[in-house]
Homo-oligomer: A and B are copies of this chain.
Amino acid sequence: MAKDLQPRREFIRHAVIAASLPLLSGSILAPRPPRQRRPLGFALVGLGSLSRNQLAPALQRTTNCRLAGIVTGSPEKVAPWQQQYGIPDRSVYSYETMERMSENADIDVVYVVTPNALHAEHTIKAARAGKHVLCEKPMEVSTERCQAMIDACRTAGKQLAIAYRCQFEPHHLECVRLARERVLGDVRVVQASFGFPLGNRPQWRLDPSLAGGGPLLDVGIYTLQTARMLAGEPVSITALETRPDPAAVEEAIFFTLTFPGGVIAQCSTSYRTPMNAFTAFAERGSFGMNPAYNYGGNRGWRSDGAPLSFPQIDQFAAEMDDFADCIATGRPTRVPGEEGLRDVRILLAAYESARTDRTLRLDP
C-alpha cells in the first residue's frame, strides 16, 4: 500500500457521499471486565519512565492483573523494583534471558515498553516463551516487523494487543458513540493535534535507529487513532513535515487524511509545540476534547452544550484489565496487532508523502 501515486482528486470526486462509519476491531464499548479468580501476572519489559510512573502504579489499580515480573537492561534498577513491588528473584530477567520466562508460570502476559525499534524483538521473544503480549505504541518501525510480531504470536497461540489506552478512556469512547450514532449528524471534519516540547536531553526518542521516527510515531499516532475512531478508514494521505536536520527525526509533521464521502481529518504533531486536543465537526454541531490525550484530566465538550464528562479513570489499568479479560475468556482484543500494523502503515505513508510531496492512496 501507499505506493500507488495517483492524483487525489480522482478518488475524492468519485467518493460516495454516504459516510462510512468507523468500524475498528472488536467491541469498543464493552463493559468493564468482572473480577476473575486469579489475577494474571504481567511482566514489564523495559523499566523506563512509563513503566515506573504509569504502568507499575496502574497495575496496583487493576482488578485482574498483578505485577509479577520485570525485564531490564539496567541492573541497578532491579533491587528498587523488587523491593517496592515484591518481585521474587526468579521473575527478574534481562533482555538476553527473558525467553526463560517459559518456565515461569507466574507470568502470563509480557508488556513491551522498550524503544519502538525493539518491540518486535521483545514481542517475538515473549511469544516464543509462551506469553501473551501487550505492546506499547507504535507497534514497530516497519510493517514487516509488525507482521512478524503478529505471526509470532499467532504461531504461539497467544494474544497480541497494542496499548492504545485512549480506546479505553470514557470521553474518547463517548466521542466514538457520538460519531457512530450520528448524534450530531455525520462527522465530516476531524482535527486532532498532539505534540509536546521534547527538549534536547539525549534520549532514545531522538535516535532514529531506536525510535524509527519522531513525534509522528510517538504521539502523532494518537491523532491518527482519533481520526480512525471517528471517521473510519482513510483512503489517502497528504503530509508535510518540518525537519531542520535532515539526519534527525522530524520536528513536526502535519497530515491530511481523506475518507470515503469527502470526510477529512487534519492531524498535527510536534516535538516543539504543546498541542493536545481534537475536534470533530459533524453536520449539526461539533464535539471534542481539550485536553484530549493526557493520562488524566482530559475534558470533553459538545457544541450543543450537552455534557461530555465522565469520571477520570486509570487508562492503563483499564487497558490491562481488558486484555486480561480477553485472555481469560478468549474474547478478541479491540486493539489487536492488526490495528497496530494498520497505523504503522499509514504513518510510514505520511513520511513518504512528505518526502515525495505527493498525495498517496491508502489501500483498505
Binding site for B on A (CB under 8 A): 7-9, 12-13, 15, 17, 188-189, 191, 193, 195, 197, 238, 240-244, 246, 251-252, 254, 256, 258, 262, 264, 266, 268, 270, 272-275, 277, 279, 281-286, 354-355, 357-359
Which of A242, A254, A279 has the most CB atoms of chain B within a 10 A radius of its CB?
A242
Which of B242, B281, B285 meets A12, CB within 8 Å? Answer: B242
Known: A7-B357, A188-B272. 14 other contacts (CB 8 A): A8-B240, A9-B241, A9-B354, A17-B244, A188-B270, A238-B238, A240-B359, A244-B262, A254-B266, A272-B283, A273-B283, A275-B281, A357-B358, A357-B359
Chain A to chain B contacts (Cβ below 8 Å), 11 pairs: A13-B244, A188-B270, A189-B193, A189-B268, A189-B273, A240-B264, A252-B262, A266-B266, A274-B281, A274-B286, A275-B281
- Whether B251 pairs with A193 at a CB distance below 8 angstroms is no
Evaluate whether A266 and B355 lie within 8 angstroms (CB atoms) in the complex, with A8-B240, A240-B258 already known. no
- Whether A273 pairs with B281 at a CB distance below 8 angstroms is yes
Complex: how many Å from CA A262 to CA B243?
Answer: 8
- Whether A277 pairs with B274 at a CB distance below 8 angstroms is no
